[in-house]
A and B are shown apart, each in its own frame.
Chain A
Amino acid sequence: DTAVSQTPKYLVTQMGNDKSIKCEQNLGHDTMYWYKQDSKKFLKIMFSYNNKELIINETVPNRFSPKSPDKAHLNLHINSLELGDSAVYFCASSQGTSSLNEQFFGPGTRLTVL
């Protein structure tokens, strides 16, 4: 009965590889997000989708490409991984785009690029 789930939990890979992280929510929400939390715990938004449409696209290298096949899923594909991509990536969802709405976060995917 997990609300927001992410796979994998841990991802260790070599520089230059391409990898994907998957996110699913069973809350019936229409808005989903990807955040990056660096080693100093700073959490920064990367992307947001509302009803499968991209609505927030922060200054993120175009090696990062989100995809939302349906409202319940938001995946993140990363090409040509770099050392600086090492971080914890969190998926989140909310009902609607209002900043007053609670965002529910997944457990995170810890990505380590060697």
Chain B
Amino acid sequence: TQLLEQSPQFLSIQEGENLTVYCNSSSVFSSLQWYRQEPGEGPVLLVTVVTGGEVKKLKRLTFQFGDARKDSSLHITAAQPGDTGLYLCAGARGSNYKLTFGKGTLLTVNP
């Protein structure tokens, strides 16, 4: 059973479009992180959210942590080809510092 479900699994859009990817679970997480991974490289942290209902913005990226801390979303405004990559959410439960990763959303932004 996958603890963190990400959707969609694949997303191909045109430059300038908006998009949202989701990370859902039936479990409560004490914190949740979003990473972006480019081909041939390791994941790079984008943001960490810890408070239910929290919203964080990073330029054109908006991250939201669900009120119940069971889900999160990543919204990208006016996507650019440089946003292309694999977006991974990762959560930690309780005092456990181990991160559990979702299977990722592979985003392709076409020029």
A residues with CB within 8 A of B: 4, 40-45, 48, 56, 90, 92, 97-100, 102-103, 105-108
B106 touches A41 (CB 8 A): yes
Q: How far apart sit A18 and B83, CA to CA, in the bound complex (Å)? A: 39
A43 touches B40 (CB 8 A): no
16 further A-B contacts with Cβ under 8 Å, apart from A99-B92, A99-B96, are: A40-B103, A41-B86, A42-B101, A42-B103, A43-B88, A44-B101, A45-B98, A90-B42, A90-B43, A99-B30, A99-B31, A100-B50, A100-B92, A105-B41, A105-B42, A107-B41
A43 touches B98 (CB 8 A): no
B97 touches A106 (CB 8 A): no
Given A41-B86, A41-B106, A43-B88: A103 touches B101 (CB 8 Å cut-off):
no
Which residues 5-46 of B have a CB within 8 angstroms of A? 30-31, 37, 40-45
Q: How far apart sit A105 and B92, CA to CA, in the bound complex (Å)? A: 17
Q: How far apart sit A100 and B96, CA to CA, in the bound complex (Å)? A: 11
Q: How far apart sit A43 and B37, CA to CA, in the bound complex (Å)? A: 11
Which residues 72-111 of B have a CB within 8 angstroms of A? 86, 88, 90, 92, 96-99, 101, 103-104, 106
Interface of A is mostly: loop
Residues of A within 8 A of B50 (CB): 100
B residues with CB within 8 A of A: 30-31, 37, 40-45, 48, 50, 86, 88, 90, 92, 96-99, 101, 103-104, 106
Q: B1 → chain A, closest Cβ, in Å?
A: 13
B40 touches A103 (CB 8 A): no
Q: How far apart sit A98 and B30, CA to CA, in the bound complex (Å)? A: 11
Residues of A within 8 A of B30 (CB): 99
Q: B22 → chain A, closest Cβ, in Å?
A: 17
Q: How far apart sit A108 and B14, CA to CA, in the bound complex (Å)? A: 30
Given A99-B31, A102-B45, A107-B42: A48 touches B98 (CB 8 Å cut-off):
yes
